[in-house]
Amino acid sequence: MSEGGDAPRGLLADRAYRALRDRLVTLRIPPGAPIDEDAIGRELQMGRTPVREAIKRLALENLVAVFPRRGTFASEINITDLADISDVRAQLEGHAAYRAAERITEAQRAELAGLLDELELSHGNDEIEMLMDLDATVHRFIYRCAGNPFLEETLGRYLNLSLRIWYLVIDRLPHLFVRVHEHEDVLRAIDAGDAPRAREILTLHIGTFEREIRSVL
């Protein structure tokens, strides 16, 4: 099979990574399920190499487990990890929001305005997957705006682990819509350059979400 025509291998590996990541965090590939590299390659219309590179990256992020002679499987979810994951995120995401308010570029301001429009349009929409996708998009946007690739990479890993736990209990979360729309406040604080306020809002948001998840476990 070809590696996807003229597309560079790195771009193909990134595409494979995003496709697999999204299926893993939303539990479309459930915990413990085997991952067929050949089937994924056929579906994404690429060869084995970029898929294997994506799997290596996902293994480093604890989203998949690779067992010699047995195969590759979606990692199991350990609910007891929630407190430790949230502890790291509360500290680092608050800092990311602070830096985003200091460092946001004009191009990113335009993107921020688009996210505020999406949040506004989602009022009254109770479609869970759409809300969760919007939530993750806002978080990843804030990581990029912080202007620190090491911080962005670290927070991306912890967000992915959090998302898997959220999706495990998502039908029982009592205030999902309210939590997602708290992002309007943090985005406006970032846009206004109010770094302390941005940090405070996002730190509180993560703490509240953790308590609500814990309440339904």
Examine the pLDDT at 87 and tell me if it is beyond 70: yes
The conformation of residue 80, written as its DSSP 8-state character, comes to G
Q: What is the DSSP letter of 126?
A: -
CATH 1.20.120.530 in the chain: give the residue spans: 79-216
Cα 150 to Cα 204: distance, rounded to the nearest angstrom: 23
Work out whether the CA dihedral 112, 114, 117, 121 comes out positive or negative: negative
CATH homologous superfamily for 79-216?
A: GntR ligand-binding domain-like (1.20.120.530)
Return the CATH number of the domain spanning residue range 9-74: 1.10.10.10
Q: In angstroms, rounded to a whole number, what is the distance separating the alpha carbons of residues 159 and 143?
A: 11
Sign for the CA dihedral angle at 64, 143, 140, 201 comes to: positive
Distances (CA, A) of 52 to 3, 20, 134, 151, 169: 12, 11, 28, 25, 30
Confidence at residue 5, expressed as pLDDT on a 0 to 100 scale: 46
pLDDT tens-digit profile of 122-147? Answer: 877 677 888 888 999 999 999 999 99
pTM of the model: 0.87
| Among the ranges given (62-66, 93-97, 153-157, 162-166), the one the predictor scored with the smallest mean pLDDT | 162-166
- Ranges in the chain annotated CATH 1.10.10.10: 9-74
- Give the separation between CA 187 and CA 100, rounded to whole angstroms: 9
> Confidence class of residue 9 from pLDDT cuts 50, 70 and 90?
low
- Model confidence over 170-211: pLDDT tens digits? 887 766 777 777 899 999 999 999 999 999 999 998 988 888
Angle at 165 between CA 53 and CA 62, to 5 degrees: 25
Enumerate the β-bridge partners of residue 71: 67
> What is the separation of C-alpha 143 from the centre of its chain, rounded to a whole number of angstroms?
10
